[in-house]
Amino acid sequence: MPKTLEGQITMEKTPSYFVTREAPARISAMSRDTKLIVVVRDPVTRAISDYTQTLSKKPDIPSFESLTFKNRTTGLIDTSWSAIQIGIYAKHLDNWLQYFPMEQILFVSGERLISDPAGELGRVQDFLGLKRIITDKHFYFNQTKGFPCLKKAEGSSKPHCLGKTKGRTHPNIDPEVVQRLRDFYRPFNMKFYQMTGHNFGWD
């Protein structure tokens, strides 16, 4: 990490820290005061989105339905498949709480980031001890993408939207499989809501 002066905040991001077993100990060893921001979304939608991204790179992978189950007849979910495993947020959070107190972790709702970006970024600014300068006037909703975009990126006259890899159309998944996944994640979601003191409304 670069050296940070008084009054500066240094940020770094990766999608894999939250689910990497060794990450909390390493980050804690580097700086125990680090504040952590994790964007989470409905684990079922997240798993389908994960699959959609892989499918775009490897069109010959098995169907979502066949990857979801260890045994389709018994309905046993394959928790070793990373697309499923990542969404068991309570399990990953347990690992982080061994190194960081809950006050140093902010969970941002992926759904609210789309429906109310300024509101959710207001929470981020508060968490980081920053003045709230990002408001509704900084965003417009891009109908084509289905996402909010920044009206003007820093130092540019053009709006900034998420890249081509975001907002892909999801394949149609068997509703029974979706329901089975909802049932599977429910207890983990409930535990996660309890741990964070925040109901994300995924059920």
What's the pLDDT tens digit per position in 142-156? Answer: 877 778 888 875 666
Question: Could you tell me if residue 25 is inside a domain?
Answer: yes
Which pTM value belongs to this model?
A: 0.89
Q: What is the mean pLDDT of residues 55-71?
A: 92
Q: Is the pLDDT of residue 162 over 90?
A: no
CATH number at residue 85: 3.40.50.300
DSSP state of 172: P
How many C-beta atoms surround the C-beta of residue 185 within 10 A? 24
Question: Could you tell me if residue 181 is inside a domain?
Answer: yes
Burial annotation 21-41 (CB, 10 A radius, 16+ → b, else e): eebbeebeeeeeeebbebebb
Q: Total structural domains in the chain?
A: 1
Question: Could you tell me if residue 156 is inside a domain?
Answer: no
pLDDT of residue 168: 72
Asked whether residue 166 is marked as a ligand-binding residue, the answer is yes
* More confidently predicted of 29 and 149: 29
Asked whether residue 49 is marked as a ligand-binding residue, the answer is yes
Residue ranges making up the domain that contains 82: 19-131+174-196
Question: Could you tell me if residue 3 is inside a domain?
Answer: no
Asked whether residue 167 is marked as a ligand-binding residue, the answer is yes
User: Which range has the worst mean pLDDT, 9-13, 53-57, 71-75, 165-169?
Assistant: 165-169
Q: What percent of the chain has pLDDT over 90?
A: 69
Question: Could you tell me if residue 182 is inside a domain?
Answer: yes
Would you place residue 2 in the very low, low, confident or very high pLDDT band (cuts 50, 70, 90)? confident
Asked whether residue 168 is marked as a ligand-binding residue, the answer is yes
Question: Could you tell me if residue 154 is inside a domain?
Answer: no
d(CA 172, CA 61): 15
Question: Could you tell me if residue 161 is inside a domain?
Answer: no
User: Which range has the worst mean pLDDT, 79-88, 89-98, 144-153, 158-167?
Assistant: 158-167
Asked whether residue 41 is marked as a ligand-binding residue, the answer is yes
Q: Identify which of 29-33, 145-149, 155-159 has the greatest average pLDDT.
A: 29-33
Question: Could you tell me if residue 190 is inside a domain?
Answer: yes
